[in-house]
Amino acid sequence: MERFGVYVQPHGATIASSIEQARIADRMDAESIWVTQLANEEDGFVLLSAYAGVTSRARLGTGVIPIYSRHPTALVQAVATLDTLSGGRAMVGLGVGTELTVEWMWGLSAASPARAMREYVSIVRESLDTGRAHFEGQHFTARWRYTATHRAEVPIYLAALGPRMLELAGEVADGVMPWLTPPNYLAEHVLPAVARGRARAGRDLAGFEIALPLPVCLTDDRDSGRNVFRKNILDFYARLPPYRRVFLASGLGDLGLGKMPDEAVDRLGGFGGPEVIRRIVDEYRAAGVTLPLISPYPDGTGVLRFEETLEAVRGNRAVTTG
C-alpha cells in the first residue's frame, strides 16, 4: 500500500472525537497524522501531544506553524518535547503565514519572507543539532541553550508556492508543502524550483518529500461537497495574491469569490464517491507528490465519513456512500 498522511482537526467538533480519529488513522496505516495551526483554533502541538497518547506508529506533524506566531526557540521547545513524548515521531511544517494574520492580526511585518524563513530554519536546525544557537539576523535572533532531550533528525518541511520559497525549501528543508496547487502546477513549477534549491545544496530530489494537503469530501452529492469547499476554503484564498497567481499559472483563470467552475474545483480536491477520491490521489502522485496528506471534511449535511474516506484512499475494499 502506498504511503499517505491524514489531517485530524476538531474544526468545531470535540477534541475527544479528534483523538478517536487519530486512533483510527493509526490503526488504518496512515503514515502520518497532521494538524494545521490556524490563528483562531486549538494549539497544534497540544493536539499532537494528545494524539501521541493514543497512537504508536504514525508520525505526528504540524502543517503548518506560522513562523511569526512563535519565536524559533519556542518552536524548538515544542517540537523537541513532542518528539520525546512520542518516541521520535515528530515533524514540523513551517510557513510564513498570510498578510491577514501577520500584518493585520498581529501587527508585524511580512517583508522579505524568504530571508525571514531562512533565518528561522537556521536557528531551529542549529538548536536541534547542537542544543544551542547563537544567531543574529535581520528578522530573528537567538542566543540560548536547550538542555532537555532532543533529536537532530526531526524533519522540517516548508510551505511554499513561489519560486524563491520553493528553492529555499529544496536547499534547507526535508520537504515542501504546497497548498491549492493543481497537478500541472506541481510538475511545471514546484518540482523544477525545488530541484534548483536541492542542486544549490549539492543534492538531488532523492529522499525529498513533496507532501501536499489534499481536501477530499466523501459524499453522494458532489455539488454539496464542492460548494462547501468553495465557501470554506476557496472564497478565502481566492482573495490572496499568491494563490491567484497559482490559479493563473495553472490555467484556472483569475477566479474571484464563488466563481471557480466545477471542473477547476475538481483539479484541487476530491468530491464524490471513493473512486473520485482515489483518482485525484493517483493524479497527484503521478504529478510528483510523494506523500498525499488527506484532509477530509463533511459535505453540506455535516456528515464526516472519516474512516470510510481512509478506506477509499487505501483502496483495500469497496466503500459505499449511502
Q: Residue 85 is part of a domain; what is its CATH number?
A: 3.20.20.30
The yes-or-no verdict on residue 102 having pLDDT over 80 is yes
- The grid coordinates listed for 9 are 482537526
User: Closest by alpha carbon to 175, among 126, 213, 129, 140?
Assistant: 213
User: Which range marks the domain in which residue 165 is found?
Assistant: 5-314
Q: Identify whether 265 is part of a domain.
A: yes
Phi, psi of 70 (to 5 degrees): -145, 135
Q: Is residue 55 part of a domain?
A: yes
Q: Cell numbers 518529500 correspond to what residue?
A: 209
Residue 320: inside a domain: no
Full-model pTM: 0.94
> Do the domain assignments include residue 319?
no
Report if residue 101 sits inside a domain. Answer: yes
Block residue for cell numbers 517583508: 111
Residue 97 lies in a domain: yes
Provide the number of structural domains found in the chain.
Answer: 1
pLDDT at 110 over 90: no
In a domain, 53, yes or no: yes
Arithmetic mean of pLDDT over the chain: 93
- Please, which contacts does 318-322 make with residues 24 or more away whose CB atoms are closer than 8 Å? 318/274, 319/218, 319/273, 319/274, 321/218, 321/219, 321/220, 321/273, 321/274, 322/220
DSSP 65: E
Sign for the pseudo-dihedral over CA of 118, 62, 227, 3: positive
User: Per DSSP, what are the bridge partners of residue 159?
Assistant: 177
The answer to whether position 232 is within a domain reads: yes
Backbone angles phi, psi at 211, to 5 degrees: -105, 110
Q: What is the pLDDT of residues 48-99, one digit of tens each?
A: 999 999 999 999 999 999 999 999 999 999 999 999 999 999 999 999 988 8
Residues 216-267 have pLDDT tens digits of: 999 999 999 999 998 889 888 888 889 989 999 998 876 665 677 888 899 9
